[in-house]
Structure 1
C-alpha cells in the first residue's frame, strides 16, 4: 500500500468516524514528532487533509488544533528526554547510526541556533524529530527546550491546518 493510499484511507476513516478524528490526529502528530518513528508517519498529509475537513465543516478547527499541538509537543518532549537520558545508546543505535550525516546536521543546527533551533527545527522535515533528541543529548536546559517546544507546536499545527481550513483549492484535488 502506497503512502498516498494510506493517507486516503485514514482521511476516509476520519471523515466517516469523526469521533476518532481527535485521537488519530493526536497520535499522528505525536508519531511525526517522535524521534525515529517520524520517518514513517504520514502526519503532514493527514493534517493538511484534516484542514480540508475543517474547511468543509466536517471537523472543528480548535479541537483539531489542540489535538495536533499536544501530540507534537509530547512527541518532541519524549524525544528530548530520550536524548537527555540515553544519549550514546540513541545516537549509536539503528537507524541513526546508519545516518551520521543527519545526526551531524541536527547537531550543527542545534549548536548554531540553540533554543531558536528547537523552535525552527519543528518546521524542517527530517530534522523535526531529530533536533529535540539532539537538544536532550546536548543537555539543553529543560525550561528552554519546553519554551521552544510549547510555542512552536501550535504554530506548526496551524500552518498545516490553515490551507484546507481557509480554502486553498488545490487541497480539494488531493483529498477530494
Structure 2
C-alpha cells in the first residue's frame, strides 16, 4: 500500500516523483526544514502519511540540494516535527485521563477493569523505556504518546524521551535515504517488513489473550453450579 502511495520514480530528479512522494518534495522545496517538520508532525496524527516514505525522502531531498536544508538540518527539523506531533497525542491522552479511559475501555468485550489497572501500573513502572523504544516501533510510534498522557507522565520527561527515541529513528531513516540517493525507496521495503512483523506479533498476542480470557470465563461459569 505504501509503495502505491509513494508512486516514486527511480530518477534522481526530485521533480520526477509523484503521489505522496511528489507532494512531500514540493512542500520541502517550498518550506524547507519547516516543511519537513510539518510533514512528520502530520505523520504522527495521520498514519496514512508514512514515515518510511517521508523520512528517507527528506534525506534524499537534502542530498540533492533542492531544498534549503542539509542532512543534519533534515534530522533536526524532522525530530522537532515528531515531538510536536507527539505533544498533540499526549494532550489527547491527558484530556481523557485515567477514569474516562477506564470507562471507555471497560465497555469493550472481555476487557476487565483489572486489565486496565495492570496496564496503567506497567506504564507507571516501565513508562520510561516504553516511550523511548516505542518511538522506534512502527504503529506504536504515535500511539505510545496517548497512554503517556493518560498516566500523566511528566511532560518534560515525556518530551525528552520522545526527542531521544525519535532522533534515533529519524536519523537512521534520513541517513539511509541520503546514502541511497535515488534508491531511497528501498528503505520503505525494509521498514515495511518490520511493520508486518509488528502487526503479526500484535495479532497473535491479541488472539492468545482472547483465547485465554474466554477459557477463564468458561471455567468460572462451570465452577458456579459445582459450588451450588
Partner of 1:24: 35
Query: Which has the larger Rg?
Result: 2
Q: What TM-score results when the alignment is normalised by the length of structure 1?
A: 0.72
Structure 2 unaligned blocks of 5 or more:
7-17, 189-228
Secondary structure in structure 2 of the residue aligned to 1:46: helix
Change in Cα spacing, 1:54 to 1:92, as seen in structure 2 (3 Å) is same
Change in Cα spacing, 1:121 to 1:172, as seen in structure 2 (3 Å) is closer
CA positional deviation for 1:133: 0.5
* Whole-angstrom CA distance in 1 between matches of 2:157 and 2:74: 26
CA positional deviation for 1:174: 8.0
Aligned partners of 1:86 and 1:137 also within 8 Å: yes
Structure 1 unaligned blocks of 5 or more:
none
Partner of 1:4: 3
Secondary structure in structure 2 of the residue aligned to 1:124: coil
* Whole-angstrom CA distance in 2 between matches of 1:21 and 1:32: 17
How many pairs are equivalent?
A: 163
Q: Does 1:171 align with 2:188?
A: no
Change in Cα spacing, 1:146 to 1:50, as seen in structure 2 (3 Å) is closer
Once superposed, what is the RMSD of the aligned Cα atoms?
Answer: 3.4
Q: Does 1:61 align with 2:61?
A: no
CA positional deviation for 1:110: 3.6
CA positional deviation for 1:158: 1.0
The C-alpha deviation readout for 1:76-106, integer Å capped at 9, x for no partner, is 112112211223369949xxx79x8xxx7xx
Candidates 93, 106, 127, aligned match of 1:83: 93
CA positional deviation for 1:72: 0.3
Change in Cα spacing, 1:9 to 1:148, as seen in structure 2 (3 Å) is same
Aligned partners of 1:79 and 1:133 also within 8 Å: yes
Q: What TM-score results when the alignment is normalised by the length of structure 2?
A: 0.58
Greater RCO (CA < 8 Å, at least 6 residues apart): 1
Aligned partners of 2:71 and 2:175 also within 8 Å: no
My pick for the range that moved more, 155-164 or 12-21, is: 12-21
